[in-house]
Amino acid sequence: MANILHIDSSPRGDRSISRALSYEFITSWKDTHSGDNVTYRDLGHHPVPHVDEPWIAAAFSSPDTHTPELQAAIKLSDTLIDELLAADRLVFGVPMYNLNIPSTLKAYIDQIVRVGKTFAVSANGYQGLVDSSKKVLVITSRGGTYPPGTPYAAYDFQESYLRAILGFIGLTDVTFIHADSLNLGDDTREKSLAGAKDAIAQAVANW
């Protein structure tokens, strides 16, 4: 039995493509892995707070010195990190906003990327502390398309950022499924969605 952490970041409901596709994966996965446990975080509808000054003070000081204010400031971060560390696999539904990720997901990332918890700094540089055997699946939705090797690839800060920050904490086994070209006409949109669904079916079988 595996623990799956499923995270959506779109503020949309039924109209969200990334939300629908991540749900399709999870539903299909549970059909073939009925014993697995799924923990769900809906960042789009229930966002986590941004990092603030009490959070920073708590993150960079010993828990033994924390006042009740600092304990409260860092409590959610501790919970989110515990969820992350308990998961064997992670599934993200991520729309592209302005060439990058939604602020809801960035706030979550800022909560879980913590020195001494998910990464360390030593004489040899940065070291991810999260188990690298964990698998990550990121399902995105994009209005345009940013193929590698084309001038448009330079605009894709979504995949490059997520690969970098997940790798920074130790998560290097990351697979992306892109539903792109969604604003480039009905035929292109439907072809892209069909391709993404095929990729999801392959991921369910082989991930």
> Domains of the chain (ranges plus CATH)?
3-206 (3.40.50.360)
Q: How far apart are CA 138 and CA 144, in angstroms?
A: 17
> Which alpha helices (DSSP H) does the chain contain, by range?
17-32, 53-59, 68-86, 103-112, 157-168, 186-206
Smallest Cα–Cα separation from 56: which of 66, 64, 43? 66
Angle at 68 between CA 66 and CA 71, to 5 degrees: 60
pLDDT of residue 1: 87
pLDDT of residue 142: 97
- pTM flag (> 0.85): yes
pLDDT of residue 171: 98
pLDDT at residue 109 tops 90:
yes
pLDDT of residue 69: 97
* Secondary structure (3-state) at 4: strand
Rounded to an integer, the average pLDDT of 27-43 is: 96
* Secondary structure (3-state) at 110: helix
Rounded to an integer, the average pLDDT of 155-162 is: 97
pLDDT of residue 116: 96
Q: Which residue has the tokens 């828990």?
A: 63
For all residues of the chain together, what is the average pLDDT? 97
Q: What percent of the chain has pLDDT over 70?
A: 100
pLDDT of residue 198: 97
What does the longest C-alpha to C-alpha distance in the chain come to? 60
Rounded to an integer, the average pLDDT of 154-180 is: 98
* 162: Cβ contacts below 8 Å, ≥ 6 apart: 92, 94, 101, 138, 174
